[in-house]
Amino acid sequence: MIKTWELDPNFKEEIMKERGGEHLTACFQCSTCTIGCPITEYVPSYNPRKIIQMSLLGMRKEVLSNPDLWVCLICQTCTARCPQDVRISDLLSAIRRIADKEAEAGNIKIDSSRPIFDKAFQHQLEKYGRLYDIGLAKEYYPKREGSFFKGMMAMMNDYKDFGMRMFKKGKMGPKAMFPEKVKDRAVMKKIFEEMGEK
Amino acid sequence: MSVTKLAYYPGCPSDATAIDQDMSTKAVFEKLGVELVEVEDWNCCGAAEVEEPELVYALNARNLAIAEKEGLDIVTPCSICYYNLERSNIALKADDKLRAKVKGIDSSLDYNGKIKAKHVLDVFVNDIGLEELSSKMSKKLNLKVAPYYGCYIGRPPETAFDDPDDPDSMDKLIELMGGEIVPFSQMKTFCCGGPLMMTRSDIAFEMARKILDTAKSAGADCIALACPLCGMMLDGKQADIEKALHVEIDMPVVYITQLLGLALGIDAKELGLNKNAVDTKEILGKVV
């Protein structure tokens, strides 16, 4: 049920101000995005057409707290097929960024570990300029599991076989224990300060 | 042949989980007489985890600016790096204000829009060309191959260099090497699940399994691909998928650069073919 008195008429402008969200109102609800989306087979509730419709109606809270936002693969199938050039993949990214800011401000709760993962990933780039897998895992797993010990257990569970396999093939040696760093790390810091999440 | 020198952007997994892709890319270009100059002190492209577009543009402006100083186009073997480099390139070229904003962060991000970013597959098929490649091949691959393209070769439209639904650049290359393409069109551009590996591995495993199963039932000797994340999912994680989903797959997965290297007569070890997680010995026996 839609409670009209709870709708936010400014929500669509809020989305359209974000990079990637500009084409929101071009959607004519044909559902091509949803029919072709590979995720719908695994998450039947996933429906980008509906997310767009709810956004246009101003159902801000429902859209931003929808956990389905975080199972998008960014595979661009919807974007490639959309007859109205809505740029759905970029549009959903714009909505996720608004959702993330709202969650950071304590206004909504996001039922997905993806924001934790994305942030842990970005922290590696900010610090080293390149991805440091171990640093990423050491930040991500404990935060996801809510404690250092549980996090380490979950990490072991995911990685013990994989790590050994990569080690045997010479793909993960002692060198992988330490981060690869760019020399100009000061510029990485500046980039994140200027362009990163505020 | 017009290409003689390119800036090389290896991407983060190049010295670890995708070292085989890095080795084979370098070996193949050397054999083809194309000099690769590594982008000096390159930084990560932002992968799929940096969602803020301006942050992606700034990160890649630095890489593009370094290559631009050398006067070279950038080539990368990773589909995600390619997508981020080229979409940043397009955005920066089109928008003077954005370029000024990025340059304002640091003078090392001063990029003037004079180069292009390219995927290795695009360079092989469209810049070097099949005729030139064919003239340098010394071996025939008696292999049935499932060509897997993944997401960023045919999508999104502004950076794509092949068809979104039925790409064929890799097909043409494989056939040129003597390989046979198995029926695989349904899975060619189906996402490997990689972006959800760390947060929804249940979905990611099912997606990867679907691709592997399809290749297997089509009778493929191997899957060929052109992205280290796809490689990680389909090859690196294959044993984990088998264990988690109680299935047996045993499908060799190789990079297109490894196959091309074999056709060019390069030694298998030099192409890192002893480093793929699923054993590749059976494939090597079919190269004559």
Alpha carbon A46 to chain centroid distance? 15
- Which of B189, B190, B199 is the closest to A117 by Cβ? B199
**Rounded (5°) CA angle B6-B153-B192:** 120
Distances from the Cα of B35 to the Cα of B27, B32, B63, B230, B267, angstroms: 10, 9, 18, 27, 19
pLDDT of A2: 85
Q: Which of A104, A122, A138 lies at the terminal end of a domain, its last residue?
A: A104
Asked if residue A156 and residue A94 are part of one domain, the reply reads no
| Residues A131 and A158 both lie in one domain | yes
Q: Nearest C-alpha of chain B: how many angstroms from A102?
A: 15
Residues 6+ apart with CB under 8 A from B253: B222, B223, B225, B231, B234, B235, B238, B276, B277, B278
Determine the residue of chain B that is closest to A79 in CA distance: B156
Cross-chain residue pair A182–B193, CB shorter than 8 Å: no
State which of A38, A73, A104 marks the end of a domain: A104
Q: How far apart are CA B10 and CA B12, in angstroms?
A: 7
For B256, the token pair is: 């297109």
For residues A93 and A137, membership in a common domain is answered with no
| B107 in contact with chain A, both atoms CB, cutoff 8 A | no
Q: Contact, B171 vs B154, CB < 8 A?
A: no
Q: Is B156 on the interface with A (CB under 8 A)?
A: yes
Cα gap A21→A99, rounded to integer Å: 13
| pLDDT, tens digit (0-9, with 9 covering 90-100), for B188-212 | 999 999 999 999 999 999 999 999 9
**Shortest Cα distance, chain B CAs vs residue A111, angstroms:** 11
CATH number of the structural domain spanning residue A33: 1.10.1060.10
Q: Which residues, 6 or more positions from B81, have their beta carbon under 8 angstroms from its beta carbon?
A: B9, B11, B45, B47
CA distances (Å), origin B209, targets A30, A193, B186: 30, 40, 14
Query: Which residue type does A81 have?
Result: R
Domain enclosing residue A68, as ranges: 4-104
Looking at the structure, do residues A90 and A18 belong to the same domain, yes or no?
yes
* B51/A96 CB distance under 8 A: yes
Closest partner residue to B50 (CB to CB) among A43, A122, A162 is A122
Percent of chain B scored above 70 by pLDDT? 100
CB contact under 8 A, A182 and B236: no
Q: Which residues of B touch A196 (CB under 8 A)?
A: 52, 55
Using an 8 Å Cβ cutoff, are B215 and B187 in contact? yes
pLDDT value of residue A177: 85
Better-predicted residue by pLDDT, A1 or B227:
B227
> What pLDDT digit, counting tens, does each position of A22-73 carry?
999 999 999 999 999 999 999 999 999 999 999 999 999 999 999 999 999 9
**pLDDT of residue B99 exceeding 60:** yes
- Locus of tokens 């989305």: A15
B17, B24, B40, B43: best mutation site toward chain A, by most A Cβ within 10 Å?
A: B43
Query: A74 near B48, Cβ under 8 Å?
Result: yes
Whether A166 and B236 lie within 8 Å, measured CB to CB: yes
B residues 111-150 lying closer than 8 A (beta carbon) to A? none
Per-residue pLDDT at A107: 96
Average of per-residue pLDDT across A120-133: 96
Contact A192 B55 (CB under 8 A): yes
pLDDT in tens, A141-197: 999 999 999 999 999 999 999 999 999 999 988 888 899 999 999 999 999 999 987
Q: How far apart are CA B194 and CA B18, in angstroms?
A: 14
CB contact under 8 A, A80 and B58: no
Say if residue A100 is in the same domain as residue A35: yes
Q: Does A118 lie in the same domain as A96?
A: no
The answer to whether position A109 is within a domain reads no
pLDDT at A172: 87
ipTM: 0.96
The token pair that represents B145 in the structure block: 């191959």
State the nearest Cα–Cα gap between B31 and chain A, in angstroms.
Answer: 24
A13 and A100 inside one domain: yes
Distance CA(A78)–CA(B77), nearest Å, equals 25
Predicted confidence at residue A198, as pLDDT, reads 62
Q: Which two tokens stand for residue B41?
A: 């002190």
Cα–Cα dist A58/A62, whole Å: 9
A1 pLDDT tier (thresholds 50, 70, 90): confident
- Asked if A118 lies within 8 A of B196 by C-beta distance, the reply is no
Whether the pLDDT of residue B243 is over 70: the answer is yes
Look at residues B221, B243, B30, B29 and name the one whose alpha carbon lies nearest to residue B141.
B221
Q: Do residues B233 and B194 lie in contact, with contact meaning Cβ atoms separated by under 8 Å? A: yes
Residue after which a domain boundary falls, among A48, A71, A104: A104
Q: How open is the CA angle B53-B57-B63, to the nearest 5 degrees? A: 150
Question: Is there a single domain that holds both residue A79 and residue A134?
Answer: no
Number of compact structural domains in chain A:
2
Q: What per-residue confidence (pLDDT) applies to A174?
A: 82
**Cα A127–Cα B201–Cα A76 angle in degrees, nearest 5:** 75
φ, ψ at A146 (rounded to 5°): 85, -5
User: Mean of the pLDDT values across residues A74-99?
Assistant: 98
Domain presence at residue A15: yes
- Which residues of A fall within a CB distance of 8 Å from B160? 80
Same domain, A43 and A98: yes
Phi-psi region at B106: left, alpha or beta (left = phi > 0; alpha = psi -120 to 50):
beta
Whether chain A has a CB inside 8 Å of the CB on B244: the answer is no
Sign of the dihedral through C-alpha A96, A101, A104, A108: negative
Residue from the list B51, B236, B239 with its beta carbon closest to the beta carbon of A97:
B51
Yes or no, beta carbons of A161 and B106 under 8 Å apart: no
Cβ B73 vs Cβ B115: under 8 Å: yes
Residue of B nearest to A119 (CA): B49
Residue B57 predicted with pLDDT over 70: yes
The average confidence (pLDDT) of chain B is 97
Same-domain pairing of A97 and A126: no
Spatial distance between the Cα atoms of A190 and B28, rounded to a whole number of angstroms: 37
User: In chain A, which residues have their Cβ closer than 8 Å to the Cβ of B276?
Assistant: 169
Which is nearest to B174 in space by CA: B257, B87, B54? B257
Pair of tokens at residue B42 = 């390159």
Statement: residue B95 has pLDDT above 60:
yes
B90 touching chain A per CB within 8 A: no
| Cβ-based contacts of A129 with chain B (< 8 Å) | 43-44
Domain assignment present for residue A149? The answer is yes
The band of B1, judged by pLDDT with boundaries at 50, 70 and 90, is low
Nearest to B57 by CA among A87, A180, A196: A196
- Where do the DSSP E strands lie in B140-226? 144-147, 180-181, 222-225
Nearest CA in chain A to B98: A195
A20, A98: one domain: yes
Domains with residue ranges and CATH for chain B:
5-119 (1.20.1050.140), 136-284 (3.40.50.11810)
Same domain, A86 and A132: no
Average pLDDT of the segment spanning B265-274: 98
